[in-house]
Amino acid sequence: MTKKETVQFIIHTLEHFYPETPVPLTHKDPYTLLIAVLLSAQCTDERVNKVTPALFLLADNPDDMSKVEVSAIEDIIRPCGLSPRKSKAISTLSSILMEKYDGQVPQTFEDLETLPGVGHKTASVVMAQAFGVPAFPVDTHIHRLAQRWKLTNGKNVEQTEKDLKRLFPKDIWNKLHLQIIFFGREYCPARGHDVVKCPVCKELSGKSEKFSSPTPTKN
């Protein structure tokens, strides 16, 4: 397969398996999404979704959150890991949103990335999923699959993001990054990976003589 053919095959396969891509982190607006994504650093989405209901019951907007004691935030988010750092970031960024942005989450990468605890990946998720701005958030999972599928030889997520943006159409970035995450979890895991059972790796490795539309294993 040429690189162009590989890209089209991946787009076709992921769209077949995951035509719908709901945001895996429970949220109701840009602020609660921002907090959920911040909490997801080195933590599973599933665990974050178990923690955020209690946190957002305590405070679900920057005004209320900025008035909550950092220790109270930390007590709730402890299961997510890195709770001292994350609780301080949540408190401080909430105050900044009130003081500098009238309580609203800013809608530029530059402004988002100035907030405590918000790196480029977090900002990309918020821009893509809260505001619909084309972005390609690359975490370690997407980085791993991109290397496995020979879409990049980048040594870090920054280079992988550049390569993926170059290869895939801009208008599908927001959906595609979620499709890759969902596919990786179900068919292309880091451990126990079976090339023959992975619809993408099987084809790219030449272990499949002919590709036809794959049959989903579940609805």
Q: Give me the pLDDT at residue 205, please.
A: 86
Helix (H) or strand (E) holding 214: none
Q: Give me the pLDDT at residue 215, please.
A: 43
Token pair in block for residue 194: 């079976």
Q: Give me the pLDDT at residue 1, please.
A: 85
Say how many domains are in the chain.
2
Domain-embedded: residue 42 = yes
Considering the domain architecture, whether residues 122 and 162 belong to the same structural domain is answered as no
Distance CA 104, CA 93 (A): 11
Last residue of a domain, one of 97, 129, 161: 129
Alpha helices (H) in the chain, listed in sequence order? 3-17, 30-39, 45-58, 62-66, 70-77, 83-100, 109-112, 120-129, 140-148, 157-167, 173-187, 199-204
Containing structural domain, residue 68: 30-129
Token pair in block for residue 151: 């879409």
Report the catalytic residues.
Answer: 121, 139
Q: Give me the pLDDT at residue 207, please.
A: 59
Last residue of a domain, one of 129, 161, 176: 129
CATH number of the CATH domain containing 116: 1.10.340.30
Last residue of a domain, one of 70, 95, 129: 129
Q: Give me the pLDDT at residue 97, please.
A: 98
Domain-embedded: residue 210 = no
Domain-embedded: residue 144 = yes
Domain-embedded: residue 218 = no
The single-letter code of the amino acid at 153 is N
Residues of the chain with confidence (pLDDT) below 70: 207-219
